[in-house]
Amino acid sequence: MDVLGIGLVLCLALYLFLIAPRFPRRKQWPASFFRYDYAHRGLHGNGIPENSLSAFALAAEKGYGIELDVHLTLDGELAVHHDASLLRTCGVDRKISGMTMGEIRRYSLGDSGERIPTLREALNCIHGRVPMIVELKTAGKRNAELAQKVYGQLTESGGDWVVESFDPRLMHWFRRHAPQVIRGQLAFDPHLGGPPGSGIGYWFLSNLFMNCISRPDFVAYCHETDRNFSFRFVRLLFRPVLIAWTVKNRETCQRLRKQYDLQIFEGFEP
Which residues, at least 6 apart from 46, have a Cβ–Cβ distance to it below 8 Å? Answer: none
Instruction: Write the pLDDT tens digit of every residue in 8-65.
Output: 889 999 999 999 999 877 888 988 899 999 999 999 999 999 999 999 999 999 999 9
Q: Report the C-alpha gap between 51 and 48 in whole angstroms.
A: 9
Across-strand partners of 242? Answer: 219
CA angle in degrees (0–180, nearest 5) for 145-148-152: 135
pTM, entire model: 0.96
Q: Report the C-alpha gap between 68 and 82 in whole angstroms.
A: 8
Percentage of residues in the chain having pLDDT higher than 70 = 100
Please report the pLDDT score of residue 195 as a whole number: 81
**CB-CB contact of 66 with 59 (8 Å):** yes
Instruction: Write the pLDDT tens digit of every residue in 216-241.
Output: 999 999 999 999 999 999 999 999 99
Going by the DSSP 8-state scheme, the letter that residue 181 receives in this structure is S
Q: Report the C-alpha gap between 73 and 49 in whole angstroms.
A: 20
